[in-house]
Each structure stands twice: as structure tokens, then as C-alpha cells.
């Protein structure tokens, strides 16, 4: 069985650093030969250079279509450095005998912290405060009615998706004196839920009673636009939406209308339906909205964890074991 693993990405400083981190892990655990292939090459060249690979890490590359993968007879694993795998046709790849695995929660802590930071930023208008100071107007530029400024004490935080990230949001809010509820299609065991400290409720109850709704679900056919007109109409006029998973989980046009119509108060979002965000998108300029540029994962610890998990998983496959953290297709 092959022991070749390929990092497929664009050449540059970031790729060099990531390759070095991955090589260090590979050297430590053994059993894997690591290779870099430039994703900007012609598809025929990529296929040739990856033909003996048992695992590929698509570091931002989007070329691993079923047609390309069908030409890689040794491939058994596509291992992402990210939590998201929505750009891969998982069902078709599985039919070809190739598993797709995510990063095993490598960036879960960073994203959970970012979600909480967005909760605070929207509730305290930190973006407005920072902009006012940078503009030289000190507090004179800080606008908004006093009723729009809040702490998290006694607020109900509704977590949709209590997986690796959602559960860490809950654990980190344990000392913030707020009430935690969650909804998930997965039935977690009692010990897991107790450790998270959240109470399970229906999605309708979560939406209609929560002061903050925070999304932590993968993007697939079942979650695309899972929040739209109907859901925003259910939410409290004083509520805030937090989205750090994928932009298309939310119907963005409906979100804009909900904020403009005061169906909800505002939003803190790290992801949008089109990225980079389009120049005419009103969200960054709307009151009570904080937008960050899909960098919730940006933390050195996330990078180290991702390299460790990716190489370890590829080594498992090279050694004849089943991979961890595989993503099941939605058919």
C-alpha cells in the first residue's frame, strides 16, 4: 500500500510554512512520505504528480472533482485542514472508494472564541466604539440608543449544532451567567450534554425564545438557508444572530430584510454567501451588525492542530487503518 501523502495547494509563504509543520509531524510519527504539488498546474500534471498518493490534503484547492479523483487509483483519503468540506462531492467520492475527513476539531476553540467575541461586539457596539476612537472623535462618534447595549447576563443563548464548536461555545459561556439551550439532529450521550451545560429544546422554541442564536452546523443540502424569512419572523425583535459556520446556512437577503424591518436587532457574522463580500452588500454598514472576513479560525493553535490531525489521519490510512473524522454524504 502507498504511503505517499500530497499537500495540494498554491505555492507561496503560507504553503511553505504549512508544509514544514506537516513534515515535522510526519517525521515524528513516521510511516508517511509527504509531497507538495502546486494546484495551479494543469489538471493532467496534477494527476500525474498525485497518481501514487494514498492521501491528499486540498489546502485551498478546488480541483479534486470526481472526474479527477477517478484518475488516482491509489487514493483512499481526502483530508481537509478545515472543518468545512462542502466544496467536495462527498457522495461521488465515496462511490469511488475515497473517504473525506475534516480537521477533527482542530480550529474548534478558535471559532468558539470568535463566536463569543462577536456576541460581545454586537451587544456592546465595539465596532462603533473602535471606529470612533480611530476617527479621533473619542466617544462622540458612538451612536445608538442605550437600550441597544447589553451584557450577556441572564440572556438565553441558543446554540444550533452542539458538535465540536457548539459544545465549546457552551462550555466557555458557563461562567457568563447566561442560559444555554441547544438544538441538534444528533442525539449526544448524557455525559457529553452535561459537560456542555446546555438544555435541549426544539428548534422552534430555540428561535422564538433566545436572545442570541449562534450557528454551528456544516453546510449541506439539509442546512442550506436553514434560517430564512420564516425563521427570522419567529425570532425576538431584540435578538442577535451569530454565524461562524458557512454563509449559505443563512438566507442572506432574508437576513438583511429582517434587520431592516427590525424583526431582529442585529448580527455578528464571519461568513457570507459570496466571499469576499460584494461591494454593494449592505451588511457591513448596517447598525448592530459586525462582519469579520471568514477568519474565525485564524489562530496559531488551529494551524498546529490541523497539521497534527491531518498527518496523523493520513498515516492511519497508510498503515491500513480506517480514517477518523470522516464526513458522511447527504444523499
Q: Is residue 274 over pLDDT 80? A: yes
Q: 69 and 131 in one domain?
A: no
Q: Which pLDDT score is estimated for 13?
A: 96
Cβ distance 274 to 291 under 8 Å? no
Domain annotation covers residue 328: no
For residue 195, the enclosing domain spans 108-291
Instruction: Cite the active site residues.
Output: 246, 275, 294
Q: Which pLDDT score is estimated for 37?
A: 97
CA distances 24 to 32, 55, 79, 168, Å, are: 11, 17, 17, 28
- Backbone φ and ψ for 166, nearest 5 degrees, come out as -60, -40
Q: Is residue 331 over pLDDT 80? A: no
Q: 151 and 276 in one domain?
A: yes
CA distances 280 to 18, 138, 283, 284, 285, Å, are: 34, 29, 9, 10, 10
Domain annotation covers residue 209: yes
The pTM for the full model equals: 0.96
Q: 96 and 15 in one domain?
A: yes
Domain annotation covers residue 325: no
Task: Supply angle C-alpha 81, 82, 84, rounded to 5.
Answer: 140
Mean pLDDT within 129-138: 97
Domain annotation covers residue 184: yes
Amino acid at each position: 500500500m502507498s504511503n505517499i501523502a500530497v499537500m495540494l495547494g498554491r505555492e507561496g509563504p503560507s504553503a511553505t510554512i504549512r508544509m514544514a509543520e506537516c513534515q515535522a509531524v510526519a517525521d515524528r510519527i513516521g510511516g508517511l512520505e509527504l509531497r507538495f504539488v502546486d494546484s495551479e498546474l494543469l489538471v493532467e500534471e496534477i494527476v500525474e504528480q498525485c497518481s501514487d498518493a494514498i492521501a491528499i490534503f486540498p489546502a485551498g484547492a478546488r480541483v479534486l472533482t470526481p472526474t479527477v479523483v477517478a484518475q488516482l487509483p491509489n487514493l483512499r483519503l481526502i483530508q481537509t485542514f478545515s472543518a468545512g468540506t462542502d466544496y467536495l462531492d462527498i457522495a461521488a467520492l465515496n462511490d469511488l472508494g475515497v473517504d473525506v475527513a475534516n480537521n477533527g476539531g482542530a480550529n474548534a476553540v478558535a471559532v468558539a472564541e470568535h463566536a463569543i467575541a462577536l456576541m460581545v461586539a454586537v451587544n456592546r457596539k465595539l465596532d462603533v466604539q473602535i471606529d470612533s476612537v480611530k476617527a479621533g472623535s473619542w466617544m462622540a462618534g458612538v451612536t445608538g440608543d442605550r437600550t441597544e447595549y447589553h451584557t450577556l447576563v441572564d440572556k438565553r443563548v441558543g446554540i444550533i449544532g452542539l458538535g465540536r464548536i457548539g459544545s465549546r461555545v457552551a462550555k466557555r459561556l458557563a461562567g457568563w451567567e447566561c442560559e444555554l439551550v441547544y438544538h441538534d439532529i444528533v442525539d449526544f450521550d448524557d455525559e457529553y450534554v452535561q459537560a456542555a451545560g446546555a438544555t435541549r429544546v426544539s428548534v422552534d422554541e430555540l428561535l422564538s425564545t433566545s436572545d442570541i442564536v449562534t450557528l454551528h452546523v456544516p453546510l449541506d443540502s439539509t442546512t442550506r438557508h436553514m434560517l430564512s424569512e420564516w425563521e427570522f419572523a419567529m425570532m425576538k425583535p431584540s435578538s442577535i444572530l451569530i454565524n461562524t459556520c458557512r454563509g449559505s446556512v443563512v438566507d442572506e437577503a432574508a437576513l438583511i430584510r429582517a434587520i431592516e424591518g427590525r424583526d431582529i436587532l442585529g448580527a455578528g457574522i464571519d461568513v457570507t454567501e459570496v466571499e469576499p463580500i460584494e461591494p454593494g452588500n449592505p451588511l457591513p454598514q448596517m447598525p448592530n451588525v459586525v462582519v469579520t472576513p471568514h477568519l474565525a479560525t485564524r489562530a496559531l493553535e488551529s494551524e498546529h492542530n490541523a497539521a497534527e490531525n491531518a498527518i496523523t489521519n493520513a498515516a492511519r490510512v497508510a498503515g491500513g487503518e480506517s480514517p477518523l473524522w470522516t464526513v458522511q454524504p447527504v444523499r
